[in-house]
Amino acid sequence: MTATMRPAPSACPACAAAPAAEALAARDLPDARIALSLPTIHCAACISKIESALDAHPQVRSARVNLTLKRASIDAAPGVTADEMRALVERLGYEAHELDAGTLNATATDKAGRDLLMRLAVAGFAAMNVMLLSISVWSGADAATRDLFHWISAAITLPAIAFSGMPFFRNAWAALRQGRLNMDVPITLAIVLAVITSLWETSLSGEHAYFDAAIALTFFLLAGRYLDHRTRAIARSAAEELTALEVPRATRLHDGEEEVVSVSELAAGDLILVRPGGRMPVDGEIVGGTSEIDRSLLTGETRPVFAGEGQAVSAGEVNLTGPLTIRATAVGAETSLHRMADLVAIAESGRSRYTSLADRAAKLYAPGVHILAGLSFVGWYFYTWDLRTALNIAAAVLIITCPCALGLAVPAVTTAASGRLFRRGMLIKHETALERLAQVDTVVFDKTGTLT
């Protein structure tokens, strides 16, 4: 005889219903929106690697990396944390931090900029000294003097390149370790080949050495990278402009007394006093006082509007004439100002068809350069049967190829344009808006001057 075992009924109907309730609650939770700072990315290959890894995560809806701002914007399922995404990116060999308001303003004085400047100074000092030694060699010095100056140049160049070229070497090694190519791989190969060829020539008492070219190449590449770093730091995005309008502190009314607190301590339902000239720290409803407020940030209308009891106000609006008491309805990330900044940040980091084209071209460029350099080496070796000549030409091919601007130009232009337009009162909400503007053939104004 076979007995069929059935699970005992739950003694508590609420316990039996709990899993279904939890599942329903999970469905109602909003998606997680995570922003990461990625200070060590520098080319289109980095973008592709990080986006591919994030998109492969089963709980990530979408991921976009902005090279100009060095940020990643991630939409994920409820419950996904910033620490999970940060750990995933760090496993790829990149530095990652959760993005906050402090990180947004750190680009102008960050450690990476100072580090690049120091390496640039060392490379410049070494290049000037090696160039001075090279003048005597170029002027026809005898063999003994030439060999001596070549060895002195080597003694200056090797430690200078080892220190100054470290950003290129480190990035190239990290890329190769991950089984991919980026723009620093051909740069590193060019510098290393130039140094090896020069040491070989010097050890054989050869006539030509290229220590001056190797250190000068390092100097100019560092100069370009530093200028690019400063350009990105100066070209503040519209999202940063909006974030700068958020008020850091507010006056809260508690039992009839005023207390100045951080905006992060406010909660919905708090009473907040906004004096004339102050900016609204939260979204809320006026419960006391009358005034005029400037809403040009949200509506584009520059004329002040009357505000009285029962009227809704939004974070970022300016109180002009009288004190107002506001009951908070949305604080922090839930305010309209913060949501607007998020929309702009997503638009700036979004992928338009032109950005995608630039990224794809930059990704194909690096392997193409290596193939071309390899073919040059093989062709010249079989043509001249001279290994030194073939190495020199292969190094020259690698030296003249540095297409990083391709991966930087489109996001840099988008960021600079959105910031400039925002300062002129125009808000870009979609990444393709500027591209589609070229297709506009009719512009309609209403009586207030609003564009349609």
CA 199 to mean position of chain CA atoms? 39
In 140-192, the DSSP E strands lie at none
Residue 186: C-alpha distances to residues 164, 182, 321 (Å):
17, 8, 62
**Cα distance between residue 161 and residue 274, in whole Å:** 57
Q: Which of 19-23, 126-130, 274-278, 337-341 has the lowest mean pLDDT?
A: 19-23
> What's the pLDDT tens digit per position in 132-161?
888 878 887 788 888 898 899 999 999 999
- Would the pLDDT of 17 be above 70? no
Across the range 395-412, mean pLDDT stands at 63
CB contact set of 369 (below 8 Å; sequence gap of 6+): 186, 397, 398, 401
446 carries an active-site annotation: yes
Q: Do strands 97-98 and 257-262 pair parallel, antiparallel, or not at all (unpaired)?
A: unpaired
Across the range 317-330, mean pLDDT stands at 88
**Cα distance between residue 72 and residue 407, in whole Å:** 16
**Cα distance between residue 365 and residue 49, in whole Å:** 16
Architecture of 29-99 per CATH?
Answer: 2-Layer Sandwich (3.30)
* Residue count (the chain): 452
Q: Does domain 247-334 bear CATH number 2.40.160.210?
A: no
Ordered strands of the 291-294 beta sheet: 305-307, 291-294, 318-319
Could you tell me the pTM of the whole model?
Answer: 0.55
> What's the pLDDT tens digit per position in 218-259?
898 888 778 767 655 555 555 666 666 677 788 898 887 888
Domain boundaries, the chain: 29-99, 111-238+345-412, 247-334
Q: Considering 28, 142, 255, 446, which one is annotated as catalytic?
A: 446
